[in-house]
Amino acid sequence: MANKRLMLGNEAIARGAYEAGVSVVVAYPGTPSTEITENASTYEEMYAEWAPNEKVALEVGIGASVAGARTMVCMKHVGVNVAADPLFTASYTGVNGGLVLVVADDPGMHSSQNEQDTKFYARAAHIPLLEPSNSLEAKNYVKKAFELSEKYDTPVIVRLTTRISHSQGIVNLEDRIDYQLKPYEKDFEKNVMMPAMARKRHVVVEKRMDQIQKDSNALEENTIEYHDKAIGIITSGIPYQYVKDALPEASVLKLGMLHPLPQELIKEFCNTVEEVYVVEELEPIIEEQIKSWGITVKGKDLFTKQGEYSANLLKEVIGRKVLNLKKAEVLPNRPPVMCPGCPHRGVYHILDKLEIHATGDIGCYTLGALPPLQGIDTCVCMGASVSMVHGIEKARGKEYVKKWVGIIGDSTFLHTGINGLINTVYNQGISTVIILDNRTTGMTGHQDHPGTGRTLKGHKTHSVDFEQLVKSIGIQTVRKVNPFHLKKVENIIKEEVAREEPSVIIATAPCELLDKKKVVITANIDKEQCMSCGLCMEIGCPSIQRKNGVIEINDALCCGCELCVDVCPYGLISKEGE
């Protein structure tokens, strides 16, 4: 057992990269993919870094591949939208050292703003896609992906879903191969995608995909398990595990490569079994291709395109069993809230007090959309808050936007928010943007970024100065404030939204969870004097609770941030010992 370990799927992906001789790993953090790069950074043999966004990450990866290194780039599904521009052209240029893009989709939207199927991108960009169904396959498929990448001169996508990324399985550990960097040879016909060269490369891409499709029929990752031939199921990834649990007697064609599909192998399987089902979460990408070949299969006419599947679902739909499952208990409603001591809470409290609307963004501060704060009006994608508040101004005028601000976190501002602010300045907008700078990438688990002064490997580095950055693009007025100083926050917001020019407020205070050794002095309520007016509860702090009509502070949750001390108009809340 010494060479076996229990690993998360994401951990196994990192191990696969190590064993494949990968030199460079690049990513932007995004649940459920984040742990891949964090684990990769623990291997001294691999250089690993956080990029400011997924497009930059992939471009770094393409450069490393051109230089002859095996390179892995990681992101969640929505990150592929950001990286799509270089992705489509990398399909044309091909690779030197192997280039693998690992993408984690999120069926069920456990931590995402949409459900999106990366198989669409593989088809659209003409890039092969592999999908493992457990941790061991996650490791092995990464190694296989690098082999295919170099054999066919193409980037390869390895698709995960949340259940693969975050479930555990036994993985056998193997030695790292002695991969030597490939020599770099200047080849502008291959690497410079001007129209004349790109037209030639498109032909190469089509021939490449035709060859991969032929070869995929014999690919060992595409396997048939014949049992009872009355029912045949074509599936892949985590749905394969549901099939084996729910229908162990059925014959199964398990696809390891989902693009391109092994047409001859699928025809052979469909001709052998009596009734064929396609079990795939999200979009009917496999099903529609098979039907386009004139083969009758059942799929989305029986199954939803939404969320995750389960073994019980397959037992009911394909097995035609009445399970009479006990209905889930109705649990108390526990909406997600900001952490006790979160520095964003004070800003939202003031915005609510001033009745100012906010275009929001992706991050912890999205939690401020819920009652009682209800601090943001919109949330679309990374960086959209800055651009959207500018669009609101252009639609409704300068006076109207004085009741709006754009709100964005520090990591997200560096991701794609800066572009929107440049646009506001360029197009003479006047909107106010608040950067909620908590000194980390909070929502995904405290990853560093170019503003924190530390690299993924823990080395000290230059820290972006947000004030100097926004001034350099033309913002004349930049105000810095501690978000716990409520009166200052209120005065600054009033002044800036009234200003007839674009401005930025930088509200800086570290995430409460960053300092694990912090000595906490909790707050107390004078219960004898408290009138239970409830004003302190309007800040939405989980540590402030009303029990039997009496408001009290839970010492186990209180972080001593003093926000409630400032909010109570009667001075009945104080720090312990004061």
Give the residue numbers of the binding site for [4Fe-4S] cluster: 530, 533, 536, 541, 558, 561, 564, 568
Identify whether the C-beta of residue 103 lies closer than 8 Å to the C-beta of residue 157.
Answer: yes
Judged by DSSP in three states, 91 sits in helix
Identify whether the C-beta of residue 475 lies closer than 8 Å to the C-beta of residue 406.
Answer: no
Question: What is the torsional sign of CA 215, 94, 128, 35?
Answer: positive
Identify whether the C-beta of residue 160 lies closer than 8 Å to the C-beta of residue 35.
Answer: no
What one-character DSSP code corresponds to residue 86? Answer: H
| Residues 82/84/89/93 CA torsion (nearest 10 deg) | 80
List C-alpha distances in Å: 101 to 322, 330, 371, 392, 469: 42, 41, 39, 36, 31
Residue with token string 């035609």 = 320
- Bind-site residues: 530, 533, 536, 541, 558, 561, 564, 568
Q: Which two tokens stand for residue 269?
A: 């399987």
User: Using omega within 30 degrees of 0 as the cis cutoff, is the peptide bond preceding 260 cis?
Assistant: yes
Distance of CA 301 to the CA centre of its chain: 30
Judged by DSSP in three states, 232 sits in strand
Spatial CA neighbour of 119 closest among 77, 56, 72, 59? 77
Q: Which residues contact 564 (CB under 8 A, 6 or more apart)?
A: 523, 536, 539, 541, 544, 553, 573
Q: Where are the beta strands (DSSP E) in 63-132?
A: 71-76, 99-105, 129-130
- Paired sense of beta strands 257-259 and 129-130, if any: antiparallel
Question: What is the torsional sign of CA 470, 474, 479, 484?
Answer: negative
User: Using omega within 30 degrees of 0 as the cis cutoff, is the peptide bond preceding 107 cis?
Assistant: no
Question: What is the torsional sign of CA 168, 173, 179, 181?
Answer: positive
Q: For the stretch 200-230, what's the b/e string if a residue is b when 16 or more beta carbons lie within 10 angstroms of its beta carbon?
A: ebeeebeebbeebbeebeebebbebeeeeee
- Paired sense of beta strands 477-481 and 503-508, if any: parallel
